[in-house]
Structure 1
């Protein structure tokens, strides 16, 4: 039985009309993640069938551990979005099943990776990003029932796409409760920058820039 309704398929096809180059969805699954991995694979397969520029490759987190380590993936289900024939890694990730409101984050990640939309960041943001020359990891904790979460995830994705040193990962926190405990996630969305700076809520771009500066200063 299909996971997506026909009206949803039509909407997704429309969203993908502007894709400029191929996008490979790399999915890491594991037996431990059980149904989450199975449903994620089924959902992604339905999505890639909606546009000829999309493809899905599935790996096992343990058996293909070397490749997972190369991509910096340590969770299953875990999704990486690679761009173009050269399979460029834009630093865009999602951990967990992208269901509910997070389906929008999945679609926007594909659109960004495929060139259907651009980061469109403010000049002040771009100026700050030019100064970031060391790896930076943004974790955005979300749940499928949070309508504000995709905005926070996509903001992180836009930053990652604009700077090769930034990795942005949406994390469905109910699937990874140990991370929720570690980072004291009491509400979503919550963004954690390099384990140094915590951001509650889906903040405006200007506030995100201030938090990035804070993280840079803390790391220094």
Structure 2
């Protein structure tokens, strides 16, 4: 039985006419301890069927460890949208992007295809000056209307900078990870692996940048004033 009804399929088909470069989506599933693996694969395949510019590659995480390690995938279900030419922008989904997060999946596919994002000049300058690789983890639930904004912002930073990787993490499917990072409300964007630096809610671009600057020891230059000038 299809996950997407006819009306949504037509809407998605129309959105995907905006694809420029071909997109290759790598999906990781596993046969055990994975509540939504089958549905995640089906969802991606249903979306891919709506555009001749999307191809899908499916792996079993327990069997294809080499491919998973190369892409930094350590849990399933996982979705890695990349360019068909192999360009990997560091955009990741862990857990099924259903409910409100379906919009984040479509945005990621379109953004990876375009290879560019609309960010403030201050944000671009900050990304160029990043002293070290950055791993953002945005914890969400499918029923959270504010979560996609946080996910898309993190993903856009990843597309804009080779130093940034950004994961959507569906909290209910990875409760141990959510516990480790003390996720009690969503969205929660975790900035460092230790979980010392984070931001809650759908923070505006300047606010997330300021928090990242604090986390990596950079001077905090991002402010609401800069944001409002644009």
Question: Which category of TM-score, normalised to the shorter sequence, fits these structures?
Answer: over 0.9
Task: Summarize the alignment of residues 94-173 of structure 1 with structure 2, pairs less than 5 Å apart.
Answer: 94-115=93-114, 118-173=116-171
Cα deviation 1:17-67 (Å, max 9, x = unaligned): 111111111001012244410011111110000000001110011210111
Unaligned runs of 5+ in 1: none
Aligned residue runs from structure 1 range 4-153, under 5 A = 4-84=4-84, 86-115=85-114, 118-153=116-151
RMSD: 1.2
Note if contact 2:35-2:173 (Cα within 8 Å) is conserved in structure 1: no
CA distance in 2: counterparts of 1:54 and 1:146, whole angstroms: 27
Q: For residues 37 and 63 of structure 1, what CA distance do their matches in structure 2 show? A: 15
TM-score by length of 2: 0.91
Moved more, 73-82 or 29-38: 29-38
Give, in angstroms, the shift of residue 216 of structure 1: 1.1
8 Å Cα contact 2:147/2:187 also seen in 1: yes
Instruction: Name the counterpart of 2:209.
Output: 209
Aligned partners of 1:63, 1:112: CA distance in 2, in Å? 30
> 1:90-126: per-residue Cα shift (whole Å, max 9, x none)?
00000001110010111101011111x8410001101
Contact 2:89-2:159 within 8 A present in 1 as well: yes
